[in-house]
Structure 1
Amino acid sequence: MTWLDEPMVGFDTETTGVSTAHDRIVTAALITRTGSGDPTQRTWLIDPGIPIPERATEVHGISTAHAREHGQSPADALAEIADLLASALGSGVPVVGFNVQYDLSILEAELARNGLPTLSQRLPSGIRPVVDPLVLDRHLDRWRRGKRKLIDMCGTYGVPVVADDLHAADADVLATLDLVRAIAGRYPALGTVPLADLHDQQVEAHRVWATEFSAWLRSKGTVDDLPSPVWPVAPAAVIA
């Protein structure tokens, strides 16, 4: 038996934009799965307190009016999400997310904005263990050409998805959990690595990728919005 046969908690958010410091969470999903068994699921619809840009609505389908009418208050929803994540991580259960640095970073910013204890404050030993199939894939198949969005990687690893379902937090989480198992199927040694070691290996793998990619972007004249080499949570920016 490996960690792949034990419980893992998938996490994803949909938001008002791409800034982890300034944007807001609109929907979130936490799905717990043990091995190949049926998952248990929690989802949240949140009134972010600011207008949801049309471009964001086009992605996840949630309008400002719908969120205001049906959404929870941010403080209530965020407290529930943080309680569940901290409980899982504190028990050694891995949190799994695709490009999860974004989701964990915006969650930390949202918790701080609403005067709630952050995951970092709740977990003195660190936000760990975390598993990100995007980080794993970049490391294990470094030179593969092509895009590495969730839908692209599901195609690469043979994970069946309905494209129109993605960009809903719960659908993205289910696809991500399936993707982790598919990657481990292609690279069986992955399942034999203890979770603590796997977490640390991803920290280093992301650092190397972010450093090299930032250097390439600078060579092309891009100096803004460079990826943070710190994983799984980027250093806090100014929160507004």
Structure 2
Amino acid sequence: MSTPKIGVVMFDAATDAPSVLRAVELAGGTPVQLHPKTTVAPDVADLKVVLLPGGFSYGDYLRAGALAATQPIMRVLADAVKAEELTLIGLGNGFQVLTEADLLPGAVIANNSPGYSHTEIDFVIENNTTAISSFYDTGEHIRLVQKGAYNHYVVTEEELEALESGGNVIVRANNSTAGSAHNIAGISSDDGSVLGLLASPEYAIEEGFGTDHPDGPRLGVDGQGLFVSVVRTAGAVNNGEGVVSE
């Protein structure tokens, strides 16, 4: 049985992209690397889900994600989303790219605590009906890494009210010092086709290389569930293969 394909955009210097490729494989998917200069729609025609990975990217000196959002592939992906042909997901810096491309509301600015931080954060799942959260239970607490100098999510009062009333807040941070409105860490568009998470779940997918856990340091693998959710969205059927199983 073939495994579902998951597109991963390889933005220049997106340092977390290799870890995202690995996470997709462990969750039972086949990662497909997409060049940011892609201009041909058929390159994404057979993909149901595309991920924008995080990490440093060119142009961060301007605004995190600002230049990445102007790359040709973003126009291709925006058209595919508009045509209801795929689900687009941004992780970490990828969330910032989505806001810069006006595919998600709001903006991401510098943290309340200045400077780069790499912190393990406790999150709570607010909505488990989305492409990145279906593996989890509503109300479930998970631990993921949040890193970078720009994790402070801001929106207008009208946008914030729409997110909350529409059930479009997927994940909240319990102990982040970034300062985001209503502790929002993950959101969805109204139709669920565009999603963003201000965290790096790919840092919590393998024991020994994950977050700290009551059973021991680096044993936390809460990020696995996000990638299993993504593979489910792309049409996966649990066949017992791979490290991560449902």
Name the TM-score, length of structure 2 as normaliser: 0.29
More strand by share: 2
More helix by share: 1
Q: Which structure has the larger Rg over C-alpha atoms?
A: 1
